[in-house]
């Protein structure tokens, strides 16, 4: 992962992927209650909420990130989101819009599967009633798997011949095939370890290849489920079906359309709302007029806000979209690293007293060497310091609060 992390939004048509993108970013991707509204992918910057290092030192007032923002120790770190066209069963064979946008997903680091739990759209995104979206969770992963497997099987004969003639290791041969998915040798090695595969590649049969591809999908595309449209009155049934079958830590309940609606009200000056919060504040709630909100006179708008409070905040706590992004980042096991010039003042210059200008997301447990490469590229670094001026070794691993504030001293 040499660049910023990329989270792909996947799901059947009309599940709410583009609405989710708009809710988490400033994008204005087209949305619509009909399949294949999106054809070409939409990419936009979202912001992952993390605890900023400035809060550890009580210097929140001087924290001014170069990218993103920081409010009272809560930092918003840029993260890329990619919204692709809807997938339908059989996509790997070219059904729907087929393989093209499976290809668009190649460089995603994690996926948010946006599942429509309202029961109002079938597996192709067409209007229906009482659809059981548990099925969507199952076939979608299968499509991704068969797409990768299909690409591999197509060339398996020549892959095998080349593997034998070049006396390559299984990791080298598979990595050659998987580099287009942004994989690396370590990822491939973890897949083989995960399924305890020691048999030489030339002896792998179809079942072995499938097991390896399945491990690769889990390793390269960790996926969380965003059960979307929870504001719909019939959502409980599908939520229950999925909740009782899948791991809870990978499930988030969302109402993307509500977040988009609230953002609009914020822009219009009718409500105060912090992304991810468990309520919205209107002029009536703001007795001291702290937020200088406009009064809501339109009865229909008042009613919509009341419904939002009853159907969403009261029942489900929040719109869930912020949590969806946080859960995807957690599945990737990302932690923030703060790079500063001066590890005593946390500033980047003697003339500017603002702190913690730069923050990069890296995989927990990465070696300091890989963190240096990610942040500094090819610039030669002589040595590295962390808080208190303590030297950090290249072979150390990165850990929160231990060595996540780093200063790179350049070689002269
Ligand atoms: N009730 C409800 N409707 C939603 C929600 N999110 C999206 N929708 C609606 O679902 C429909 C489809 O939304 P899109 O965001 O266009 O869905 P998509 O997954 O991008 O669809 P394709 O681009 O066709 O694959 C639109 O009418 C949205 O307003 C939600 O949280 N609740
Ligand atoms: Mg769309």
**What is the per-residue pLDDT across 360-374, written as a single tens digit (0 to 9) for each?**
999 999 999 999 999
Could you tell me where the DSSP H helices lie in 179-331? Answer: 185-194, 206-220, 235-243, 256-268, 299-308, 315-316, 321-331
Percent of the chain exceeding pLDDT 70 equals: 99
- pLDDT exceeds cutoff 70 at 155: yes
Distance between Cα 156 and ligand 2 center (Å): 35
Stretch 211-230: mean pLDDT: 96
13 lines ligand 1 (CB under 6 A): yes
Q: Give the whole-angstrom CA distance, residue 189 versus residue 216.
A: 10
**What is the per-residue pLDDT across 16-74, written as a single tens digit (0 to 9) for each?**
999 999 999 999 999 999 999 999 999 999 999 999 999 999 999 999 999 999 999 99
Query: Which-ligand-closest: CA of 87?
Result: 1
Distance between Cα 236 and ligand 1 center (Å): 18
**What is the per-residue pLDDT across 87-105, written as a single tens digit (0 to 9) for each?**
999 988 888 877 777 788 9
How does DSSP assign 189-218, residue by residue? HHHHHHTT--S-GGG--HHHHHHHHHHHHH
C-alpha distances in Å from residue 24, one per residue of 1, 44, 206, 320: 22, 9, 41, 11
35 lines ligand 1 (CB under 6 A): yes
Residues 344 and 389: beta-carbon distance below 8 Å: yes
pLDDT of residue 97: 77
pLDDT of residue 2: 53
- pLDDT exceeds cutoff 50 at 1: no
- Binned at pLDDT 50, 70 and 90, residue 286 comes out as very high
If you compute the radius of gyration of the chain from its CA atoms, what whole number of angstroms results? 24
Place of tokens 């009200």: 265
Distance between Cα 305 and ligand 1 center (Å): 20
243 lines ligand 1 (CB under 6 A): no
Q: For ligand 1, atom 2, which residue shows the shortest CA distance?
A: 229
16 lines ligand 1 (CB under 6 A): yes
């Amino acid at each position: 992962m040499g660049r910023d992390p990329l989270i792909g939004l996947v799901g059947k048509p009309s599940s709410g992927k583009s609405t989710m993108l708009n809710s988490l970013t400033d994008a204005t991707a087209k949305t619509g209650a009909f399949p294949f509204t999106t054809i070409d992918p939409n990419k936009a910057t979202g912001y992952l909420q993390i605890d900023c290092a400035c809060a550890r030192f009580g210097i929140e007032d001087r924290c001014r990130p170069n990218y993103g923002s920081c409010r009272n120790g809560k930092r918003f770190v840029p993260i890329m989101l990619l919204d692709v066209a809807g997938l339908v069963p059989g996509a790997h064979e070219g059904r729907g819009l087929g393989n093209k946008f499976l290809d668009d997903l190649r460089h995603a680091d994690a996926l948010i599967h946006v599942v429509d739990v309202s029961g109002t759209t079938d597996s192709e995104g067409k209007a229906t009633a009482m659809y059981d979206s548990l099925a969507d969770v199952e076939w979608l992963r299968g499509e991704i798997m068969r797409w990768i497997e299909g690409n591999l099987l197509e060339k398996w004969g020549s892959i095998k011949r080349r593997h034998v003639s070049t006396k390559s290791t299984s990791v080298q041969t598979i990595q050659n095939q998987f580099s287009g998915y942004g994989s690396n040798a370590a990822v491939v090695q973890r897949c083989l370890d995960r399924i305890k595969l020691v048999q030489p590649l030339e002896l792998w049969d179809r079942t072995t290849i499938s097991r390896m591809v399945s491990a690769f999908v889990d390793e390269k595309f960790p996926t969380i489920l965003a059960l979307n449209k929870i504001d719909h009155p019939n959502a409980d049934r599908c939520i229950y079906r999925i909740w009782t079958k899948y791991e809870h830590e990978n499930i988030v309940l969302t109402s993307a359309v509500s977040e988009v609606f609230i953002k609009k009200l914020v822009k219009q000056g009718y409500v105060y709302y912090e992304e991810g919060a468990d309520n919205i504040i209107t002029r009536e709630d703001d007795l001291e007029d702290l937020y200088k909100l406009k009064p809501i006179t339109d009865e229909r708008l008042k009613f919509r806000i009341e419904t939002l409070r009853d159907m969403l905040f009261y029942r489900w706590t929040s719109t869930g979209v912020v949590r969806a992004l946080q859960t995807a980042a957690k599945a990737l096991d990302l932690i923030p690293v703060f790079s500063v010039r001066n590890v005593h003042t946390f500033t980047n210059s003697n003339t500017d007293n603002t702190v913690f200008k730069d923050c990069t997301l890296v995989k927990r447990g990465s070696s300091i060497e890989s963190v240096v490469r990610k942040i500094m590229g090819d610039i030669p670094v002589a040595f590295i310091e962390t808080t208190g001026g303590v030297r950090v070794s290249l072979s150390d691993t990165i850990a929160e609060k231990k060595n996540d504030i780093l200063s790179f001293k350049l070689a002269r």
